Amino acid sequence: MNISPEQILTDLSAAAFETLCLTIFRRQAAACSVYRDYISCLGIDPQTIECSKDIPFLPISFFKTHAVTSSEAPAAIVFSSSGTTGMVQSRHLVTDLTWYEQSYLSAFGRFYGNPADYCILALLPAYLEREGSSLIYMADDLLSKSTDPRSGYFLHNHTELAAVLEVLQQGGQKTILLGVTYALLDFIEAHSMNFPELIVMETGGMKGRRKEMVREELHDILCAGFGVHHIHSEYGMTELLSQAYSSGEGRFVCPPWMQVCLRDTNDPLSPVSPGTTGGINVIDLANYNSCSFISTQDLGRLHADGSFEVLGRFDHSDIRGCNLLVQ
């Protein structure tokens, strides 16, 4: 049974999400060889899984060593993770870009509305300077859908960016500044401003350019530098085709086809309850053609309303991708 993006990337009831989880799990447990072998090594019979909370999560590290795919089609694109020199990159073989495009456009629309209504500015030097970034693929598309001619990338030309932001504020234009964390800090050190209507969305850590800092400290600095009340954030990664968003205070909300749960840091097969710190597991149904059940190397806290915080990373895990702030 094939499932289309339109059946998944929509408003899903809890019952529909549960049904789709089990359907996709059974498909991927059979079609994705690395996932199938991993489940077998755990001694789990996929036919015995009757609810989503019992589905095993594939460690994210397998994306570095294996082709994680549930499709026989060739990859339309291969997204790769960022990282320091010499680090093994994760590779996500995406066989059908429709899933990714519909996922990020639907999620963006739910949280922010139509990208055509915004001037979208991107300060993403660490991503633009390499190939295979899923974030740049998304940013390219969002920029193309903005109807404001001032939308675009700013690599290191901070003076030009400051001038554009001043004009946009004076004109009352709705504006999103999407930036890698260290570049946003570099910018406000040279160009502090007071633009309270601006949506500043930070997408990740320092990537070895600056010392890591706790989220509260970082967001306080960015709020003061841009003159805004809250800093927005995106939680995404190479191995996922969906993103969660935070409109402030570091609490992320998932779209209906994505869900976060936590595992015990000492027993990866045991869940933990909301309010407790644990390893972040992600169900991303948009990963229909790879693996939808991913055990990340991030630490988090889950709240009763389903929102979650990212608190840091497991010791010795790679420094990479989006929103890996030390707490």
User: Could you tell me if residue 196 is left (phi over 0), alpha (psi between -120 and 50 degrees) or otherwise beta?
Assistant: alpha
With a pLDDT cut of 70, the percent of the chain lying above it is 92
Q: Kindly state the average pLDDT of the residues 36-48.
A: 96
Residue 62 tokens, joined: 């397998």
Using CA atoms in the order 24, 29, 35, 41, what is the torsion angle rounded to 10 degrees? 140
Closest by alpha carbon to 126, among 81, 87, 89?
81
On whether the CB atoms of residues 39 and 54 are closer than 8 A, the answer is: no
For residue 146, is pLDDT > 60?
A: yes
Q: Kindly state the average pLDDT of the residues 176-200.
A: 95
For residue 295, is pLDDT > 60?
A: yes
DSSP 177-203: EEE-HHHHHHHHHH-----TT-EEEE-
Rounded CA-CA distance 239/236 in Å is: 8
| Residue 322 banded pLDDT, cuts 50, 70, 90 | very low
Q: Kindly state the average pLDDT of the residues 183-200.
A: 96
| Residue 323 banded pLDDT, cuts 50, 70, 90 | very low
* From 38-47, 49-58, 216-225, 271-280, the region with the lowest mean pLDDT: 271-280
On whether the CB atoms of residues 242 and 104 are closer than 8 A, the answer is: yes
Q: Taking the model in full, what pTM does it have? A: 0.92
Residue 18 tokens, joined: 């549960």
pLDDT recorded at residue 198: 98
Closest by alpha carbon to 133, among 79, 63, 95, 189?
79
On whether the CB atoms of residues 252 and 235 are closer than 8 A, the answer is: yes
pLDDT recorded at residue 155: 86
For residue 54, is pLDDT > 80?
A: yes
On whether the CB atoms of residues 3 and 288 are closer than 8 A, the answer is: yes
Interhelix angle for 181-190 vs 215-226, to 10°?
40
Rounded CA-CA distance 62/67 in Å is: 8
Q: Kindly state the average pLDDT of the residues 110-139.
A: 93
Cα angle 266, 88, 125 (rounded to 5 degrees) comes to 110
Q: Kindly state the average pLDDT of the residues 7-14.
A: 96
pLDDT recorded at residue 303: 92
